Chains A and B, each alone.
Chain A
Amino acid sequence: AQKITQTQPGMFVQEKEAVTLDCTYDTSDPSYGLFWYKQPSSGEMIFLIYQGSYDQQNATEGRYSLNFQKARKSANLVISASQLGDSAMYFCAMRGGMDSSYKLIFGSGTRLLVRP
């Protein structure tokens, strides 16, 4: 069975500093994908970054990077140079492979608050 764990219910970061949001996962599928989504107070789910299980390099998208450590089954999101607009809920998600019917499941989320 697939499982995603986010152990930080809430975090604070000072504006312009970097912050790491933790995510660990568990799956028996050899092929899987890891995602991070941002949910601001307006409620929409915004895709941030994707990492495939066979990707050799860590994914990066602008100020977002994914620290993928396959042996440790972790996929932490790093946000560099935090901005006030980064204050939101952040969800880690995993798409399983054929054994999991390619389902996308979510962790419980981390609420990030950026302080001015």
Chain B
Amino acid sequence: DAGVIQSPRHEVTEMGQEVTLRCKPISGHNSLFWYRQTMMRGLELLIYFNNNVPIDDSGMPEDRFSAKMPNASFSTLKIQPSEPRDSAVYFCASSRFPGYTFGSGTRLTVV
């Protein structure tokens, strides 16, 4: 089992550019979560999917953020246009009750 795989590990982009973060959950896990971690706000839940269906996106900060899960093995988090305040570490986690496994995260820097 390769665990939850996130790509890229690091991303540096210019303000205004589109950024796409990718996540491959563990096979057999039916839930997927996207989190953002910053010094100021800690770990924030952005959106949560269950069986590929978005269940709760109340944590998505604004319309510039969107997430999709087209199938059980792939999810994306897109920021368009990106802003410097989006700089953070973005974690994907997948879950099969009762546990949660996190990916290694994507460190995003928007300059």
Contact = CB atoms under 8 A, between A and B. Distances in A.
Given A47-B99, A102-B50, A104-B95, A109 B42 contact: yes
Interface stretch (B60-68, B69-77, B101-109): B101-109
B4 to A, nearest CB: 10
9 contacts: A37-B102, A43-B105, A47-B102, A93-B100, A95-B98, A104-B95, A106-B43, A108-B42, A109-B43
Contacts of A50: 98-99
Chain A's interface: helix, strand, loop or mixed, by majority? Answer: strand
A54 B99 CA distance: 16
Contact of A44 (B33, B55, B102): B102
A53 to B, nearest CB: 11
B18 interface: no
Given A50-B98, A102-B97, 17 more contacts: A33-B98, A35-B100, A37-B102, A44-B105, A45-B102, A45-B105, A47-B100, A52-B98, A91-B43, A95-B98, A102-B50, A103-B33, A103-B48, A106-B42, A108-B42, A109-B42, A109-B43
A67 to B, nearest CB: 19
**Those 3 A-B pairs whose CB atoms lie nearest each other, nearest first:** A45-B102, A106-B43, A101-B56
B82 interface: no
A109 B37 CA distance: 12
A105 interface: yes
Contacts of B100: 35, 47, 93, 95, 104
Interface residue tally on A, bucketed by range: 20 to 34
A90 B58 CA distance: 25
B21 interface: no
A19 B56 CA distance: 36
A103 B104 contact: no
Interface string B30-61: 01010100000011010010100001100000
A50 to B, nearest CB: 6
